[in-house]
């Protein structure tokens, strides 16, 4: 383990050196390139399995290892969550995308010892006004939260900003999944909830690298897990969106390592 350590409620947060942040940036660049390829590929008729194949092949071509495959038994390289699916949708050759769907693509890789992780939600063809607004609000909440990723602020300043943006817009924040620290591991402390009280939580420090990932439902916040053991869906059947960036906290402000 490299770099200095911060302890918070017995959890150890690994601070990254500038050199390590550059390595994470390299991993994140691979993630973003592949997400851009997926964005172009995703259209009506294409299956979520086609997208999974593409993501894995593109990662391997670049010498990177898909981060999710085999993680706690997850069977694929990519998470593809359609419409009422919140996160961890499993790609399937039977799931054909259709006009009007919204599709969350969540992808992570390991390269040269460091992880990168990002997610986007994209429209398939023309989507409803409500779906568009849901995606816009979720992405806006993510960027507003990133602005709070500053040394001296508190972790839940990030969380509260997401919650405010989302609830102001009449949508709801999922409680069952959180963002996370990232570096030599895909999931490191601290957990980064998408709701909380401003001014609380661990003090943010230069060198922390966080995957911030709001999951937002158009209806109620509750989710349930399908029988496949992975796919989280909204309990009320409403649409859900998900955006994620890997962000480094620096003295020069938030550094979005997965910036497109």
Residue 119 Cβ vs Co ion, minimum distance, rounded to whole Å: 7
- Residues in contact with ligand MF3 by CB under 6 A are 68, 71-72, 74, 79, 88, 106, 108, 117, 119, 180, 211, 244
Please identify which residue in 20, 85, 101, 117 interacts with Co ion, judged by CB under 5 A: 117
Residue 91 or 108 having the CB closest to ligand MF3? 108
Residue 23 or 242 having the CB closest to ligand MF3? 242
Which among Co ion, ligand MF3, none contacts residue 10 (Cβ within 5 to 8 A by kind)? none
- When asked if residue 211 is in the footprint of Co ion (CB under 5 A), the reply is yes
Q: What is the CA radius of gyration of the chain?
A: 17
Helix (H) / strand (E) element for 179: namely strand 179-181
Residue 33 or 198 having the CB closest to ligand MF3? 33
Residue 66 or 221 having the CB closest to ligand MF3? 66
Measured CA to CA in angstroms, residue 178 lies from 34, 127, 162, 167, 200 at distances of 23, 27, 12, 17, 16
Q: Residue number with the shortest CB distance to ligand MF3? A: 74
Other Cβ atoms less than 10 A from the Cβ of 219: the count is 16
Helix (H) / strand (E) element for 8: namely strand 5-8
Task: Tell me whether the omega of the peptide bond preceding residue 190 falls within 30 degrees of 0, making it cis.
Answer: yes
Which among Co ion, ligand MF3, none contacts residue 74 (Cβ within 5 to 8 A by kind)? ligand MF3
Other Cβ atoms less than 10 A from the Cβ of 10: the count is 6
Residue 119 or 165 having the CB closest to ligand MF3? 119
CB burial of 13-39 (b: ≥16 within 10 Å; e: otherwise) equals bbbbeeebbebbbbbbbbbbebbeebe
Other Cβ atoms less than 10 A from the Cβ of 166: the count is 27
Residue 123 Cβ vs ligand MF3, minimum distance, rounded to whole Å: 21
Residue 142 Cβ vs ligand MF3, minimum distance, rounded to whole Å: 13
Name the residues that contact Co ion, by CB under 5 A.
117, 211
């Amino acid at each position: 383990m490299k770099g200095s350590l911060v302890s918070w409620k017995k959890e150890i947060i690994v601070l990254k050196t500038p050199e390590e942040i550059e390595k994470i940036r390299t991993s994140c660049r691979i993630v973003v390139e592949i997400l851009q390829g997926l964005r172009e590929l995703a259209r009506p008729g294409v299956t979520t399995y086609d997208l999974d194949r593409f993501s894995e092949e593109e990662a391997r071509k670049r010498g990177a290892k898909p981060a999710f495959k085999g993680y706690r038994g997850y069977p694929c390289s990519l998470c593809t969550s359609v419409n009422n699916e919140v996160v961890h949708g499993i790609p399937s050759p039977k799931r054909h995308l259709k006009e009007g769907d919204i599709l969350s693509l969540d992808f992570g890789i390991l390269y040269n010892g460091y992880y990168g992780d990002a997610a986007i939600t994209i429209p398939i063809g023309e989507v409803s006004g409500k779906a568009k607004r849901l995606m816009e609000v979720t992405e806006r909440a993510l960027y507003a939260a990133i602005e709070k990723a500053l040394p001296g602020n508190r972790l839940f300043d990030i969380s509260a900003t997401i919650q405010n943006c989302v609830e102001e817009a009449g949508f709801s924040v999922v409680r069952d999944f959180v963002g996370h620290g990232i570096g030599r591991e895909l999931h490191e402390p601290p957990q980064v909830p998408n709701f909380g009280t401003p001014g609380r939580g661990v003090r943010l420090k230069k060198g922390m690298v966080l995957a911030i990932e709001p999951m937002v439902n158009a209806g109620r916040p509750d989710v349930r897990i399908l029988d496949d053991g992975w796919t989280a869906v909204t309990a009320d059947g409403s649409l859900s969106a998900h955006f994620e960036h890997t962000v480094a906290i620096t003295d020069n402000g938030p550094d979005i390592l997965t910036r497109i």
